[in-house]
Amino acid sequence: MKDTKTDHKRLLAWVDEVKSLCLPDRVVWTDGSKDEYNRLLADAVRTGAATRLNARKRPNSYLFRSDPSDVARLENRTFIATRNEKDAGPTNNWIDPGELKSTMRQLYAGCMRGRTMYVIPFSMGPIGSPIAKTGVEITDSPYVVVNMHIMTRVGQKVLEALGSDGEFIPCLHSIGAPLSPGEPDRPWPCAPIEQKYIAHFPEESLIWSYGSGYGGNALLGKKCLALRIASHLAHSEGWLAEHMLILRLTNPQGRRFHIAAAFPSACGKTNLAMLVPTIPGWKAECIGDDIAWMRIGPDGRIRAINPEAGFFGVAPGTSNKSNPMAMRSIERNTIFTNCALTDDGDIWWEGMDQACEHAIDWRGNDWTPDSDRLAAHANARFTAPASQCPVICPDWEDPAGVAIDMFIFGGRRSTTIPLVHQAFNFDHGVFLGASAASETTAAALDVGRTLRRDPFAMTPFIGYHAGDYIAHWFRMGERLGAKAPAVFFVNWYRRDRSGRWLWPGFGENSRVLKWMCERVEGKIDAVRTPIGWMPRNGDLDVNGLTIRSDDFAELMRVSVEPLRKDLSDAEQYFAQFGDRLPDKLRVELDAMRQRLAAAG
Ligand code: OXD
Ligand code: MN
C-alpha cells in the first residue's frame, strides 16, 4: 500500500468504509504516473488479461478481450434512484434509493476478497479549472485504472487540488468477482448479468456500479459522472452537460467558429469531431468527441469545455477513409478492447482499410474471412489520449472553454429529413433537438428499420426527468437571449429508393458546415420551408463533387406527408412526459403542425 498523500477526512473516511465493506486484500492509491500505468499493464500481460501488441507495429499498446457477456453499456441495468419515482421520469429505470442501496450493499459485502482495491482521484476537466469536477473512483479492476489514466486526469495532483476539504463525487465500482484463496483468476472477471447494476443517486451525487468491467459501466467519470450526475447538477446550477462533440472550424479568412454537435451513438460523432475538410482553405480542429460541459460566460455567451482527456471510440468502421485522424491517434499508447489480433501482433476490425486473411477474433478463436462471425465485436473500442490526435486544437484544455457559435443535432434517417436545415430561432432549435430520432438498424433496406426518439442524443444519459431536461434547454435559451447560438439539424444518412446513400459524408460534410458558418456570419439568405431555413440553390458548395442533380434534389426534398407522420410520432413520444412537458414545446409542436398544414 502506498502512503496516502491526503488529509481529506471525508475522503479517508469513505475509503475506510468501502474497505470494511468490500474487504480487499490491499488498498492502493493511484498516483497517475507513467510508471504505475506501465506496471499495471505489465501485470495484466503476465496474468493473461492482456496481450502486448507488436511494438514495431503499435508501440506501447495492448489488447484486452472481455467476457462475452460484458461487451457494452447496459441500459436495462442502469438506474436513476431518486427519492420520488416521478423525478427519474419515464425514460429512466428507477428503484427506490434505500432498496437499491440495501441490494447493492449485500453484493458489495466481501466482493473484493483476493483483489486489490484501487483509489483513483480524478478530474473531469483541466485540474483546478472552475468548470472541472473532481471524482474519486474506487475499483478492483486494473483495466479501469489504466483506462482512467487515459480518459481523465488522475492521481496525486488531483488530491493536491482537492486539498483537505474540497468537494468530490464518490464513484464506487467493483467487477463483482471475489477470489477465494488459491482460486485462479479469469482474464476478464465480472458478475452475471442479473447482478450487474449501474446505479446513480443524483440527489446525493453518488455513483455505485457493480458487476461489469466494460466502458461506460465501469469508467465512471464518463457516462455516469460527466453526463448522468453532471446533467442533474447542471439542471440545478444553470449549465449544460451534453452528449456533444466540440469542433473548431476556421474559414479561409481566419475567422473561427465553434460547434457543439449531438448525435446518438453510432452516428459518426467521432468522425465529425476529427473531420478533415475537403473544401480548400478550411481548417478543422478537434476539442472533444463525446461530452461537452457548457456555461454562460461573463460575456453572456455559452462556453464549452471537453471534460475528458481521451477518446473511447468505437473501433469497427474506423479507417483512413472514415476517420484518418482517429487512425493516427491510435498508432501508439492505446488500449484496445475486443478487437481482433492479427498474425503479426497488431489489431484489426471490420471496415479497416486493408483486408485480413487470418486473425484471432475477440473471443480468442481462429478467424478467417470465411468465418460466419465478426472478427472484432461490433462495440470493440480503442482508448487513446486526446493529445495524440494530429488535429487536436492547441487550446483544447483552456479552462475557460470556447464560445459556441452553433449547435448541431442529427440522427440516422434514411428518409424524410433533408441533409441540412436551420432552426428559425433558439426555441425552434430546442424543438429540433428534443424531437431528434435515429434508426436503430440498417438491416433490410426500408423494412424493419425502427426509429428511436432520442432527445438531444441524451436519452440514456439524462440523470433526471427528460421533460424537465427539455424545459432546462428552453430556460438556457431565455438566459442567452440574442447571444444564443444558431441551431442546425443534419442528416448524413439519407438514401434513395434502392438504398443507395445520397450524400458522400465524412470530409465532404465540411461543405454543409461551410453553409452553416456563412449563415452565422449573416453572409447569405436561405429558403423558408415548413421545417426551417434551407440552402438556396447554389449556396451549398458542391464544387468538385460529383453528385447528380436529381440525387441532390432528393437529398434536400421536404415532403409534407412523411413529415406529418414524423410529427405525430414525436407527439406520441412526448405524451409520456405529461405535465412535465414544457409549454414551449407544445407551442413549437403546434407551430410545426400549422406550417405543414399550410404547405400541404
Ligand atoms: C459512447 C456511447 O460510448 O455513446 O460514447 O455509447
Ligand atoms: Mn457517447
What's the confidence (pLDDT) of residue 502? 97
- If you ran DSSP here, which 8-state letter would residue 315 be given? -
pLDDT one-digit tens code per residue, 51-64: 999 999 999 999 99
Query: What does the alpha-carbon distance between residue 542 and residue 536 come to, in Å, rounded to a whole number?
Result: 13
Which pTM value belongs to this model?
0.96
At 194, the pLDDT band (50, 70, 90 cuts) reads very high
For helices 583-599 and 560-575, the axis angle rounded to 10 degrees is: 160
At 129, the pLDDT band (50, 70, 90 cuts) reads confident
The CATH code of domain 9-54+71-238 reads: 3.40.449.10
Neighbouring residues of 8: CB distance < 8 A, sequence distance ≥ 6:
159, 162, 163, 164, 165, 166, 168
Asked whether the predicted pLDDT for residue 199 surpasses 60, the reply is yes
Q: What's the whole-number mean pLDDT along residues 104-132?
A: 95
If you measure from the C-alpha of residue 110 to the centroid of ligand 2, how many angstroms do you get, rounded to a whole number?
33
At 124, the pLDDT band (50, 70, 90 cuts) reads very high
At 441, the pLDDT band (50, 70, 90 cuts) reads low
What are the φ and ψ backbone dihedral angles of 254, each rounded to 5 degrees? 90, 5
220 close to 171: Cβ distance less than 8 angstroms: yes
Q: What's the whole-number mean pLDDT along residues 211-230?
A: 97
Q: Whose CA is nearest to atom 1 of ligand 1?
A: 265
If you measure from the C-alpha of residue 316 to the centroid of ligand 2, how many angstroms do you get, rounded to a whole number?
15
What percent of the chain shows pLDDT beyond 70? 98
Which residue out of 111, 224, 267, 393 is catalytically annotated? 267
Give the nearest ligand 1 atom to 265 CA.
4
Q: Whose CA is nearest to atom 6 of ligand 1?
A: 265
Q: What's the whole-number mean pLDDT along residues 177-199?
A: 97
What's the confidence (pLDDT) of residue 476? 98
Asked whether the predicted pLDDT for residue 454 surpasses 60, the reply is yes
If you measure from the C-alpha of residue 320 to the centroid of ligand 1, how many angstroms do you get, rounded to a whole number?
21
If you measure from the C-alpha of residue 72 to the centroid of ligand 1, how many angstroms do you get, rounded to a whole number?
9
Q: Whose CA is nearest to atom 4 of ligand 1?
A: 265
Shared fold status for 9-54+71-238 and 310-387: no
Radius of gyration (C-alpha) of the chain in whole angstroms: 24
Q: Whose CA is nearest to atom 2 of ligand 1?
A: 265
From first CA to last CA, the distance across the chain in angstroms is 72
If you measure from the C-alpha of residue 290 to the centroid of ligand 1, how many angstroms do you get, rounded to a whole number?
7
Asked whether the predicted pLDDT for residue 224 surpasses 50, the reply is yes
What is the CATH T-level fold of the domain 244-289+405-598, as seen in this structure? Phosphoenolpyruvate Carboxykinase; domain 3 (3.90.228)
At 434, the pLDDT band (50, 70, 90 cuts) reads very high
Candidates 214, 290, 462: which one to mutate for ligand 1, based on the most atoms within 8 Å of Cβ? 290
Residue-range domain boundaries for the chain: 9-54+71-238, 244-289+405-598, 310-387
* Range list of β-strands (E), 354-450: 359-360, 366-367, 381-385, 402-403, 406-410, 420-422, 437-439
Q: Whose CA is nearest to atom 3 of ligand 1?
A: 216
Give the nearest ligand 1 atom to 264 CA.
4
Q: What's the whole-number mean pLDDT along residues 268-283?
A: 96
At 447, the pLDDT band (50, 70, 90 cuts) reads very low
What's the confidence (pLDDT) of residue 1? 40
Asked whether the predicted pLDDT for residue 544 surpasses 80, the reply is yes
Q: Which ligand is nearest to the CA of 383?
A: 1
Please give all residues whose beta carbon lies within 6 A of any atom in ligand 1, as ranges: 73, 215-216, 265, 290, 312
Best CATH choice for the domain 310-387 from the list 2.170.8.10, 3.40.50.300, 1.20.1050.140, 3.30.70.1450: 2.170.8.10
Asked whether the predicted pLDDT for residue 443 surpasses 90, the reply is no
What percent of the chain shows pLDDT beyond 90? 95
Give the nearest ligand 1 atom to 457 CA.
4
Query: What does the alpha-carbon distance between residue 464 and residue 130 come to, in Å, rounded to a whole number?
Result: 24
Known catalytic membership, residue 22: no
